[in-house]
């Protein structure tokens, strides 16, 4: 079974530029998550999708961050414009959606904002 | 609200020695508990989880954890560590009523020395 795929693995941009990250979850997984992991901290949930609908985006900075999962499969997270404090690893995870299923994480995208 | 505290940011230990990584949580509702491991430049991998039943949970790679409801703790243990166990370990909780919403601790870096 293929795992969660993410690209790119690394990205360096200057502040005020825009950036996009892509995630392809495990086949058949209905639930998809985006997390932000700042150096020295645990992952923080940004947004949770169930199929192509948003379940929770309460911690997503909506003035600059956006995410979509148009066909209920892969997803894109965008930052526009980026700030220095957005430097972090962005993790994508997926789960089947059943009541006790585990979340499976991708390798992450390391973003550096200069 | 839920919060997870991992008191030790770094734990150095010699190979073949036992180790305990501490995790305490605070929650107004019943939760499921998890330990994840993150190797360098990789995503998080599930070590073990407590959903119900026996409070002693065995996971992969020889790790185990014990749920203590009265002390709201879920400490991770291994009787004899290997060099390959060097990684960062994250404790997480998820409300039973809202499973799949995870709250992570800040992580503990385990450094196994030869």
Instruction: List the pLDDT tens digit at each of the 114 positions of chain B.
Output: 889 999 999 999 999 999 999 999 999 888 999 999 999 878 899 999 998 889 999 999 999 999 999 999 999 999 999 999 999 999 999 888 776 688 999 999 999 999
Distance from CA of B15 to the nearest CA of A (A): 24
Res. A20: pLDDT tops 90: yes
Nearest CA to B72 among B22, B35, B109?
B22
Instruction: Dump the DSSP string for A43-107.
Output: -EEEEEEETTEEEE-TTS-TTTEEEE-TTSS-EEEEESS--GGG-EEEEEEEE--STTPPPEE--
Chain A residues closer than 8 Å to B41 by CB: 107
Tokens read off for B52: 């119900």
> Tokens 């909506």, residue?
A62
Tokens read off for B22: 């501490």
Domains of chain A, residue spans? 5-98+106-113
Is A5-98+106-113 CATH 3.40.50.2000? no
Is B60 exposed, middle or buried, given 0-12, 13-18 or 19+ CB atoms closer than 10 A? exposed
Give the Cα-Cα-Cα angle B59, B61, B67 (nearest 5 degrees).
Answer: 30
What value does the mean pLDDT take over residues A80-93? Answer: 96
Q: Is A27 on the interface with B (CB under 8 A)?
A: no
Instruction: Give me the CATH topology for the region B2-113.
Output: Immunoglobulin-like (2.60.40)
- pLDDT score at A99: 60
Chain A residues closer than 8 Å to B43 by CB: 4, 91, 93, 105-108
The answer to whether the CB atoms of B100 and A91 lie below 8 A apart is no
Strand partners, A66: A78
């Amino acid at each position: 079974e293929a795992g969660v795929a993410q690209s790119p693995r690394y990205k360096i941009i200057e502040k005020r530029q825009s950036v996009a990250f892509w995630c392809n979850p495990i086949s058949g997984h209905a639930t998809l998550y985006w997390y932000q992991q700042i150096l020295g901290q645990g992952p923080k949930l940004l947004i949770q999708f169930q199929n192509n609908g948003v379940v929770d985006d309460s911690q997503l900075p909506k003035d600059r961050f956006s995410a979509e999962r148009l066909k209920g499969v892969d997803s894109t997270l965008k930052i526009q414009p980026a700030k220095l404090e957005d430097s972090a690893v962005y993790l994508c995870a997926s789960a089947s959606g059943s009541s006790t299923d585990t979340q499976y994480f991708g390798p992450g995208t390391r973003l550096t904002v200069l | 609200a839920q919060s997870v505290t991992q008191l030790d940011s770094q734990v150095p230990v010699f190979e073949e020695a036992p180790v305990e990584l501490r995790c305490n949580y605070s929650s107004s509702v019943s939760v499921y508990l998890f330990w994840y491991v993150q190797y360098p430049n990789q995503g998080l991998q599930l070590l073990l989880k407590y959903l119900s039943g026996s409070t002693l949970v065995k996971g992969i790679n020889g790790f185990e954890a014990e749920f203590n409801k009265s002390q709201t703790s879920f400490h991770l243990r291994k009787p004899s560590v290997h060099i390959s166990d060097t990684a960062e370990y994250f404790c997480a909780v998820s409300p039973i009523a809202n499973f799949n919403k995870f709250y992570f601790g800040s992580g503990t870096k385990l450094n196994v020395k030869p």
